[in-house]
Structure 1
């Protein structure tokens, strides 16, 4: 019998950042993952503290960045990988009115640290941006694919990864322990992303799920080393390749890329990118989204040692370390969860 403090189900951003909490606090754990959920690994990984459609602050942006960036830096150091790339992010203006809205936003105390007051003139002949750009400060790109691949290797090396589907009916839940075959844990945390809809213990939580599709293009003439947010985003990778995304589909719950999604992204991209490009990759995943745009964190209403860590939506890179810390403090230190992230807000 292998005994651990925690059994974790899933190996995306939520799970990995919770593992980091456990490692920091000298807790033992094992992770179950069957690679069925794709939202983290196919994500473009963009993080920024501003909602660029409305020029408003991301929920708890400062708190999230203050926790997230040191976590990713620690992972880079521990695993000897590079995953956090600082990125100049520009919001393309489509009118003078948008420029004025931007300047109004820069006067807001919570947005002032993140929005430059300088209008950046477009000098790239391959981009149509006659009204210029506004610059978002403290933005970046997390290489989620490299992170997850490297973290799984790390877990394997430490005999902490079970690459199999956890079958809920095999769980033996007692007051002070959970047993699954030859593994016994004090707690179990379900960080399954959209896969939680099949979980009999937490399938009641209101997780909507939004399909997103992202392209990788090769555009040798584009020659930009900064990200652009317009009707779609463009994020530079390397060797003249860029991520382009993303779509939002609330009906299709498959992980398969679609011609409709590809066509939508290409059409929007061509409204402002005026050079030739080639689509070299096309991926899709289901984001674990929630109607009130807040995470779903908490304890099962009946079983005191079952927990959920989910609902990170479109901003998992920033949110994951923040809610992982909150859940750990809730379990180990009896620190109450904020109502706006606690799953109990939907049970009242």
Structure 2
């Protein structure tokens, strides 16, 4: 069978792009080597309109958040299961400096849709350290990524559209009209490999800046689960006294091995947030496919337009991927274009510099 698209990789980016292309009437097959400790399976799946310690509004939040909400709600309906949990985020101030930083920005009008309340101080709590106050962020939440990817993978398998295994570039045949890989034919091949893209002979020239993130699963009793907590770490409710805690950022060791140092760092930050005792039940790590300028990498190869890439979402893939997948899918069909900020054309000079003879 000739497919419109063959997608390599069924993490967050690949799964969302595959579904988006299908919804637009394309035929899609997926090639994937399932990895339980992939970044998509390890991540908490957070959606947060407020970025970092400087309280910046997340880039393109006004576009990304409605698209993400619509995508995950439709997916829940199609799969007949709960995946997307909208919860406020209680961001607790860690210092007077952080509190003052927010107060200086809180009057900006673009926060109206995303900040429900600012608390210069909060009453003593038996659960968390909240003496310096904080703010309640709306339109946040999390997606059960591991569950989502597992269900979508089962669906692909049932439809005989999933090839399990490691992609072998030596078996790839290219032509002006498409690609052939063993018994698979497609008009276009889109790579959604996450951090493995640094080994991709067609796209390794792109400036990935890989970093490892370590997370903990913990058990803690009597912690109110009405919100996601954030104070140096995020603490996400998973149900039945289970919580996910993260995450570290480590650019020095881009591997998937959890470390004692990462665990110690997370436990220390957690103790600055929680007053309750907790038990670590799991410690995992994944590699984020981040990019030098913190923007995704999307587009077609400069000289081989039957090959494309949809990657580089970093730690915000759950938020960004639904909107950008739709944008890319429409651009591929000739009905739109992708933003210059995410197009791989912004790094095209790296490709030609690499190709220059010595």
Is the TM-score greater than 0.5? Answer: yes
8 Å Cα contact 1:17/1:324 also seen in 2: yes
Equivalent position of 2:49 in the other structure: 49
For the residue of structure 2 that corresponds to 1:319, the secondary structure is helix
Equivalent position of 1:16 in the other structure: 15
Equivalent position of 1:343 in the other structure: 344
More helix by share: 2
Moved over 4 A (4+): none
Equivalent position of 2:60 in the other structure: 60
8 Å Cα contact 1:103/1:117 also seen in 2: no
Equivalent position of 1:25 in the other structure: 24
Equivalent position of 2:160 in the other structure: 159
Q: 1:52 and 1:137 mapped to 2: Cα distance?
A: 16
- 1:136-151 to structure 2, matched below 5 A, reads 136-151=137-152
- How big is the shift at 1:124? 2.7
8 Å Cα contact 2:12/2:317 also seen in 1: yes
For the residue of structure 1 that corresponds to 2:239, the secondary structure is coil
8 Å Cα contact 1:215/1:282 also seen in 2: yes
Equivalent position of 1:234 in the other structure: 235
Structure 1 residues 208 and 4: alpha-carbon distance in aligned structure 2, compared to 1, 3 A threshold: same
For the residue of structure 1 that corresponds to 2:13, the secondary structure is helix
Structure 1 residues 197 and 52: alpha-carbon distance in aligned structure 2, compared to 1, 3 A threshold: closer
- For residues 82-113 of structure 1, the C-alpha deviation after alignment (integer angstroms, 9 at most, x for no partner) is 11001121110134443343233232232221
- 1:245-324 to structure 2, matched below 5 A, reads 245-324=246-325
Q: 1:334 and 1:128 mapped to 2: Cα distance?
A: 51
Q: 2:145 and 2:243 mapped to 1: Cα distance?
A: 15
- How big is the shift at 1:165? 1.2
8 Å Cα contact 2:328/2:337 also seen in 1: no
- How big is the shift at 1:333? 1.5
For the residue of structure 2 that corresponds to 1:8, the secondary structure is strand
For the residue of structure 2 that corresponds to 1:309, the secondary structure is strand
- 1:102-121 to structure 2, matched below 5 A, reads 102-119=102-119, 121=122
Query: Mean alpha-carbon deviation: is it higher for 89-98 or for 298-307?
Result: 89-98
Q: 1:95 and 1:66 mapped to 2: Cα distance?
A: 32
Q: 1:342 and 1:39 mapped to 2: Cα distance?
A: 22
Structure 1 residues 88 and 49: alpha-carbon distance in aligned structure 2, compared to 1, 3 A threshold: same
8 Å Cα contact 1:223/1:240 also seen in 2: no
Matched, 1:214 2:215: yes
- For residues 259-309 of structure 1, the C-alpha deviation after alignment (integer angstroms, 9 at most, x for no partner) is 111111001111231221100011110001011110000110111110000
Q: 2:223 and 2:272 mapped to 1: Cα distance?
A: 14
8 Å Cα contact 2:7/2:31 also seen in 1: yes
Aligned-residue Cα RMSD (Å) equals: 1.5
Structure 1 residues 46 and 244: alpha-carbon distance in aligned structure 2, compared to 1, 3 A threshold: same
8 Å Cα contact 1:102/1:134 also seen in 2: no
- How big is the shift at 1:122? 4.5
8 Å Cα contact 2:302/2:348 also seen in 1: no
Query: Mean alpha-carbon deviation: is it higher for 134-143 or for 116-125?
Result: 116-125
Q: 1:338 and 1:11 mapped to 2: Cα distance?
A: 24
Query: Mean alpha-carbon deviation: is it higher for 312-321 or for 94-103?
Result: 94-103
Equivalent position of 1:35 in the other structure: 34
Query: Mean alpha-carbon deviation: is it higher for 331-340 or for 313-322?
Result: 331-340
8 Å Cα contact 2:124/2:131 also seen in 1: no
- For residues 137-170 of structure 1, the C-alpha deviation after alignment (integer angstroms, 9 at most, x for no partner) is 1000111011011110111111111111111111
8 Å Cα contact 1:32/1:161 also seen in 2: yes
Matched, 1:128 2:129: yes
Runs of 5+ in structure 2 lacking a partner? 350-358
Q: 2:149 and 2:344 mapped to 1: Cα distance?
A: 26
Q: 2:341 and 2:100 mapped to 1: Cα distance?
A: 32
